[in-house]
Chain A
């Protein structure tokens, strides 16, 4: 006969917990995304700054050549004639040998502003045109064009007026080295920022780990309390979360107080109800007549009901206790001592055997109530011997560490049908033996409340074998 176990309440399903992302991962992810974005923007900004500066430097270089060309165009005129009636001559500009090497990327042209034909050009053009865009009304302008060899060329144009005639001087240079510089710079910037980014992410990770360590300490402290290994959460935590630990401790204390109060109330209620019930029932039993019989009968029913509901109320309060555990050996040894005294007339041999120390994950009073009822029951029926053994076991369905308390006697035992009836509320199989008949059903209810089981079987000693399986506090 097996009494099924009611599973104890658990907070949140494992499925839900699996879907909740870690706080540390969340912090690292946000910081990493933000850092990557900031570094990328910084990189773009730096490269664009570098490009502008390079462009300006490139243009300054071209401007120098324009000025040199203007100077060469006016070189032959004497100072007075130039001032009065300036004349233009073909510049023979060799200030930079690159203008002489054919198609090497450096070019200049001079043309009249009002005509597209080129007047003079550098030797490097070897007769090819340099297709510069029109300046329009502007005095100067820079632009990128395709050179004679289709390479990109940056051209700086400037309008000058000599005498009555306006000329446009254009100097261009291939941009390959300019872009190579910019790309090299961009590569270096990207490399540097990547290294900085990786360093930042590592620093963030470390910061989060170190920063969240107190939370992990709080969690393990709470877990030790929940397992019953400690009574309070360690409050030596950083300022920000210390109040949380203080509040949790207050909650634990308040929880224990509520249970204690509930227990006291139940005790007081028991006293308040059972004493007058004793009076009523004894008064009725000492009288004769149908009224007295009815009162006796109803008082017995009331007594069973009160007992049952008080026990349920005690259990309901018990469900809310956090973090309690107790050693099984002292509880059982105390019970054996008490039973030896209570049943001394029967001269019973009560044996308790427990190989290793075991801690019950629950309230000592409940363990005492369950095992007390079983041992009391065994002592009531035993002829000469009661054996109690405690051993470790396992719950294969939930993979939880459990332990068994087996109480056997050499009494008459019970049939299969009687065993099933024995755990029913208020059922007494033999009215000649004192008791409320609630003992075994209370054991079954309490065992179920702790996620344990309770079985009745035939003992090798000849009598009843009661097996109680309860959760133990594992050392891990």
Chain B
């Protein structure tokens, strides 16, 4: 899962990036509105954490521009101006949720997790597909009730496939959502990780659709 953090305070930006990375998200970050808008406009993100008080272009304008241009990724706004008028203005501009500053990082992580899950159409924090169960809150994967150990990259790959189970996901889409913008898109790392994941959760769980990509679970499953 790939997240964009747009926060002008470099310390807070760093903290958000670290916390999200520790939660196994791939994170890009920007410290002003224009850079943030550009990244959100050109890269596919699964969620955005957007501060409203940004230099060069304020957060509300960034959000409005994204929505006007049809960018529908879930957006969590961070605001120090926490009157309801500010919050409602953010929600009306297209935000999906808000967190008022000062906040606890756990709260931001919980909100981001909920946004990503909701965007993929899952109501609960546990996503299952056959014997595989992913606990989003604990970041734990079990197969037939037994916990399995996954590397960070494997976890991200499984999480993305579970969020979009039943759908064919191209290698490019996986690369875009599992790696940050500096990653070499032509490398065949995805195939390597799919192979390793098959060994851990069962070889029949991830189906290769020739020429199109991969699919977890049966078509139409959710």
Q: Which residues of A contact B (CB under 8 A)?
A: 267, 270-279, 281-283, 285-286, 299, 303, 307, 314, 334-335, 337-338, 341-342, 344-345, 364-365, 368-369, 371-373, 376, 434, 436
Contacts A275-B53, A286-B15, A286-B19 known; 16 new A-B pairs at CB < 8 A: A274-B80, A275-B12, A276-B9, A277-B101, A278-B15, A279-B12, A282-B12, A282-B104, A283-B15, A307-B82, A314-B83, A334-B88, A341-B91, A341-B96, A342-B91, A372-B84
Ordered by A's residue number, 30 sampled pairs between the chains whose C-beta atoms are within 8 Å are A267-B80, A270-B80, A271-B53, A274-B101, A275-B12, A275-B53, A278-B12, A278-B15, A279-B9, A279-B12, A281-B104, A282-B12, A283-B11, A283-B15, A285-B104, A285-B105, A286-B15, A299-B102, A335-B88, A337-B91, A338-B92, A341-B96, A342-B91, A342-B98, A344-B118, A345-B123, A364-B85, A365-B84, A365-B85, A371-B84
Contacting pair B84 A369 (CB below 8 A): yes
Q: A236 to chain B: closest CB distance in Å?
A: 35
Q: A461 to chain B: closest CB distance in Å?
A: 23
Smallest CB-CB separation from A344: which chain B residue? B118
Using known A-B contacts A334-B92, A345-B123, determine if residue A286 contacts B105 with beta carbons closer than 8 Å. Answer: yes
B82-124 to A contact mask, C-beta < 8 Å, 1/0: 1111011001100011101111110100000010001000010
Contacting pair A338 B103 (CB below 8 A): no
Cβ-neighbour of B114 out of A267, A277, A345 (below 8 A): A345
Contacting pair A365 B83 (CB below 8 A): yes
Which residues on the B side are within 8 Å of A277 (C-beta)?
101-102
| Contact of B149 with A by CB under 8 A | no
Which residues on the B side are within 8 Å of A275 (C-beta)?
9, 12, 53, 80, 101-102
Interface size class of B (residues with CB under 8 A): 20 to 34
Smallest CB-CB separation from A299: which chain B residue? B102
B66-81 to A contact mask, C-beta < 8 Å, 1/0: 0000000000000011
Which residues on the B side are within 8 Å of A372 (C-beta)?
84, 87-88
Task: Give the complex CA separation of A344 and B83 in angstroms.
Answer: 21
Task: Give the complex CA separation of A206 and B217 in angstroms.
Answer: 93
Task: Give the complex CA separation of A436 and B80 in angstroms.
Answer: 13
Task: Give the complex CA separation of A78 and B20 in angstroms.
Answer: 155
Q: A375 to chain B: closest CB distance in Å?
A: 9
B108-147 to A contact mask, C-beta < 8 Å, 1/0: 0000001000100001000000000000000000000000
Q: Which of A279, A303, A314, A371: most chain B Cβ within 10 A?
A: A279
Contacting pair A282 B15 (CB below 8 A): yes
Contacting pair B15 A368 (CB below 8 A): no
Which residues on the A side are within 8 Å of B98 (C-beta)?
342
Contacting pair B105 A282 (CB below 8 A): yes
Contacting pair A270 B91 (CB below 8 A): no
Which residues on the B side are within 8 Å of A314 (C-beta)?
83
Which residues on the A side are within 8 Å of B91 (C-beta)?
337-338, 341-342
